[in-house]
Amino acid sequence: MPRVAFTPNLERHLACPPRGVTGATVRAALDAVFAENPRLRSYILDDQDRLRQHVYIFVNNDRIADRERLSDPVQAQDEIYVMQALTGG
């Protein structure tokens, strides 16, 4: 099953340890995580249910192509990494 991991800076706001989930797409994998941790959804997705502007998702080492529907496929052995870009100075 795919493994979803989040950047450590999200841990400052809520618990989101890495976990294995079911799902054949990035969206399905994230929905499985959100089912267990609904508050996490608003940190990752906007009110249109699309990826927030400063959030990036990688499957293994490749950035996903579909930021709106999150339809990129995932395999059982894949690592999905969700990170927030930090800005400011």
Average pLDDT for 55-64: 96
Mean residue pLDDT of the chain comes to: 93
Kindly report the CATH number that applies to the domain delimited by 3-84.
3.10.20.30
Burial class (CB in 10 A: 0-12, 13-18, 19+), 39: exposed
Q: Where are the domains of the chain?
A: 3-84
Give, in degrees to the nearest 5, the angle at Cα 27 between 17 and 35: 50
* Residue 67 pLDDT class (50, 70, 90 cuts): very high
The pairs formed by 12-20 with CB atoms below 8 angstroms and a separation of 24 or more are 13/43, 14/39, 14/40, 14/43, 16/40
Tokens representing 6 are: 């989040």
Tokens representing 22 are: 């079911």
pLDDT digits (tens, 9 = 90+) for 9-52: 888 888 999 999 999 999 999 999 999 999 999 999 999 999 99
